[in-house]
Structure 1
Amino acid sequence: MAEYVHFTDEQKQRANSVDLVDFLRRQGEQIIRSGREWRWKRHDSVTIRGNRWFRHSAGQGGLAIDFVQEFYGLSFPDAVTLLLGGEQGTAFRQSDKKVPETERKEFILPEAADNMRRVYAYLLKQRYIDRDVLTHFVREKKIYEDKEYHNAVFVGCDENGTARHAHKRGTYSNAAGYRGNVEGSDPKYSFNYIGTSDTLYVFEAPIDMLSFITLHKNGWQQHSYVALDGVAEHAMLHVLSKNMYLKNVVLCLDHDPAGIEASGRLAGILHEKGYTSVSCLQPACKDWNEDLKAQHGITPIPAKPHPKLEACKELCGEIRYLCGHIKSVKNPHEMLMEHYEKAVLLMQLSRSTDGQKAFLVEQLLSMTVYALFAVIVQYRQLEKPMNFKQLTDELCRSYHPHQDRGKLKTKAEDIQQDVNAINARLNTFGIRTLEDKQKLIASYMSLALNCVKALIFICLEEQEQRIEALQKQNEERSDYMQAVCEEFLQPGI
C-alpha cells in the first residue's frame, strides 16, 4: 500500500499561493511579460498572473498545485512538496499576501556551558576539524557549547556583530545526528566568515564549511565562506549583497543528487543576479567532512552521482557514436520529421509494451541525431566549423536535472513545441538573417535536449521497474522460506 502523505491546510494554502513566475524561473523556464500577465514561452497558450494560470488552448486553469500536477506530471503530494521546497528547504515567493504567516519567535541564543570539552572532543576527534581553525571561530564567539544539551552551536551574526542565527548540532556519539536551528533565527544570517579576496565558498552545513577550511587551510582567512543550513539561497545572496567585492562564487554542496540539483538551481539564481563567475566544486566523497575522515583512515560515505546526469552522459556518448557512423544525410530535417511522426503517437500512450518502448527509444535517438545533423548544416551555412563531439558535449553541459521534471506526456509537449518552432522558422519567407539562423540552431538544440530528457525518463523508469520486480521476487522468496520453516517447526514433523 502506498504511503499516505499528510499536509496541513496551512501547508496546502502556502503551496497554492506560490508565485508561478518565480517558480518557473527557478526551474530555468523563460517567461515573457504580456500586459498585466506573463506568458510561458514553452507553452505559449499559458498565461500566468501571481499564483493563477490559464491554458487558453484547453480552456482550463487553476492555482499553483494544479499547475505543477498538469505540466510537471506530479501527484498531489509530490506537487505540494515541490512547491514547498521539499527536503531541500527551497522557499518560493508567495503571491497571495492574505495567507497568514507564522509569527517569528524572538531569537534567543541558548545558554552557554561553563566549558567546551564536549564540543572540542566532538569536532576534533570525531569530525577531525583542525584545532587552529576551530579555535579561531570559538574566539570569535561563533562556536560554543550550550549548557542544557551540550550541542555545538554555530552562530551567525549581522553586520554589527549581533547574533541573529544559530544552528545546533548534537555532540553525543550515540545520537542520531541531531541538528536544527534555534527558533527565531533569521535565515539570511547563517554561520559564515568574510575575508578580503573576491571569492565566496558556499556550503550546506557549518561542519562542511569547517571541513573544507581544514582541507584547504593555507591562506584560508583570505576568502569568504557561508553555510546555508540546507540549500536555500537566502544566506548566500545576503552575504553577496553586503560584500559587493565578492565576484567569484564557488558552490561546494554535497556530492549527491540533492546537492547536485541544488548547485544547478543556485547557479541559475546567481546568473540571473548578474554573477558570471560561478563554479561548482564537489567533494570526492559524499561531503567535505567525509573527505576529511577519509584522510584519517575512516571509511567514508561515498559520493552518490545523480542518476539522470549519469544517464545523460551515456546517452550523449551513444548519440555521438551514431552521428559518427552516419556518412551523410541529404535532408536531416525531413528525416527528423519522419521519426517524429512515429514517436509522437507512442509518447501520448498512458501505457506501452516493452516493444513499443524500445521502438520509441529508437525514434527519439534518431530524432536527436538528425537534429544535430540539421545544426551542422546551419553552421556550415554560417561558415563556422562545428563537429558532433562539440555538439554532444554542449548537449550534455546544457542538461540540468533540477530543470527536468514531469512525466513522458510533458516531455512530448515540449518536443512538440520545439518542432512547431522549427517548422515556423523554416516556413518563414525571405532570406534568413544571422539572427534567424542562430534561433533555428537554438530550436534544433532544444529539440535534441528534450529528446534526451525523454530518453532519460524511459531509461530510469525501466531501471526502477526492474528493481521493483527484483524486490518483489526477493519478498516472495523470503515469504516462501518462512512458510517452509514454520511448516517444519510444527509438532510431529
Structure 2
Amino acid sequence: MSFPDAVLQIDGNPPVHMDPATPAIQQDGSNARLELPEPYENSNRVIAYLSKRGISRDVIDFCLKTGRLYESRMYHNAIFVGFDLQGTPRYAAIRGTTKTRYMGEAPGSDKRYSFAIPADDNGTELHLFESAIDLLSYCTLSEISGKVWRQSHQLSLAGIYSPKENKDEGIAPAALTNYLQSYPEVEHMVLHLDNDEPGRSAAAMIQQLLSQTYEISDEPPVRKDVNDDLMIYRKQREEPTR
C-alpha cells in the first residue's frame, strides 16, 4: 500500500485510485520523465464535476479543446496539463472527481510549467492563483461579468507557495518566475491567492520580491478561495426571490 493510501485508510477513507501512465515524454535538459495518465474516450465525468463546482461550460470546453484538460481512463480523474512554449506537456495536476477529493501530480511533473492559460493577444496582465480550479473559477466569474477573460494571462502556482521565514532569503515561485521569463510582455500582476494565512503570506512575499519590477495588485477572494466565491454567487443566483 502506498503512503497516501495508508494515511487515507487510517482516517477511515477509501484508498486513492491512481491512473496508469501513458508512455513518458522526455523533458528537455532533465532526466525526469512526465508520465501522463491514459485518457478516457470522453470527459463527461470531468465536465459534470467541474460544472458542479460552478465552472462555465465555455471555459471547460476551451480547456478540453486545447488539451489542457481531459479525463483519465482508469479512475476518471480530472487531468490539468501544463505546457512549455513549444506545446510539449511538462506538468499535470490530478484532481479526483469522486468523494475522495484526491489532489496530486503526475510523476515527472515540472512545476515551472504548471497549468496556465496564456493571453490570446499579447496581454500585459497576469492573474495568479493557487489551483487550476480557482483559475477556471475566475475565468467563469469574468465571463459572467461580461469581461473577455482571454485578454489576460492566467497562471496556477500548483499549490500553496510557502515563502521562507527569513524574508531576505525569499524567492518567487518557480512557476511564476518561468512564466514571466516566457512572457516578457507582462507588466501587471493580480494576485488571487487564498484568503487564509498561507495565502496572505505568499501574496505579501511576491509583492516584496517583484513590486520593483511589476505593478502588483492584491485581490484576494472574499471567502477562502475563488471557487468558494463562485459557488456562493451561483447559489445566490439560483435561490428564488422572496
Which TM-score applies when normalising by structure 2?
A: 0.76
| Partner SS for 1:296 | helix
Correspondent of 2:106 among 157, 161, 182: 182
Q: Which residue pairs with 2:133 in the alignment?
A: 207
CA positional deviation for 1:269: 2.2
RMSD of aligned alpha carbons: 1.4
Q: Which residue pairs with 1:252 in the alignment?
A: 192
Change (3 A) 1:105 1:276: closer
The percentage of counterpart residues that share the same residue type is 36
CA positional deviation for 1:265: 1.2
CA positional deviation for 1:276: 3.5
Letter in 2 for 1:183: P
Letter in 2 for 1:135: D
Which TM-score applies when normalising by structure 1?
A: 0.38
Letter in 2 for 1:189: Y
Correspondent of 1:235 among 163, 175, 180: 175
CA positional deviation for 1:291: 0.6
| Partner SS for 2:34 | coil
Which protein, 1 or 2, shows the higher relative CO under an 8 Å CA cutoff with sep ≥ 6? 2
| Partner SS for 1:184 | coil
Correspondent of 1:122 among 36, 49, 72: 49
Correspondent of 1:113 among 40, 43, 48: 40
Q: Which residue pairs with 1:149 in the alignment?
A: 75
Give the structure with the larger helix fraction. 1
Q: Which residue pairs with 1:279 in the alignment?
A: 217
Determine the C-alpha separation between the residues in 1 that align with 2:46 and 2:74. Answer: 13
Determine the C-alpha separation between the residues in 1 that align with 2:75 and 2:43. Answer: 12
Q: Which residue pairs with 2:19 in the alignment?
A: none
| Partner SS for 1:297 | helix
Residue by residue over 1:18-48, the C-alpha shift from the partner in whole angstroms, topping out at 9 and shown as x without a partner, is xxxxxxxxxxxxxxxxxxxxxxxxxxxxxxx
| Partner SS for 2:94 | strand
Residue by residue over 1:446-483, the C-alpha shift from the partner in whole angstroms, topping out at 9 and shown as x without a partner, is xxxxxxxxxxxxxxxxxxxxxxxxxxxxxxxxxxxxxx
Letter in 1 for 2:225: D
| Partner SS for 1:216 | helix
CA positional deviation for 1:148: 1.5
Determine the C-alpha separation between the residues in 2 that align with 1:104 and 1:296. Answer: 45
| Partner SS for 1:164 | strand
Determine the C-alpha separation between the residues in 2 that align with 1:171 and 1:113. Answer: 14
Paired residues, number: 191
Letter in 2 for 1:287: D
CA positional deviation for 1:295: 1.2
Letter in 2 for 1:127: R
Give the structure with the larger strand fraction. 2
Q: Any stretches of 5+ residues in structure 2 without a counterpart?
A: 1-29, 162-172, 237-242
Change (3 A) 1:104 1:208: farther
Q: Which residue pairs with 1:193 in the alignment?
A: 117
Q: Any stretches of 5+ residues in structure 1 without a counterpart?
A: 1-102, 299-493
| Partner SS for 1:159 | coil
Determine the C-alpha separation between the residues in 1 that align with 2:214 and 2:106. Answer: 34
Instruction: Please list every run of at least 4 consecutive aligned residues from structure 1 whose deviation after the TM superposition is greater than 6 angstroms.
Output: none
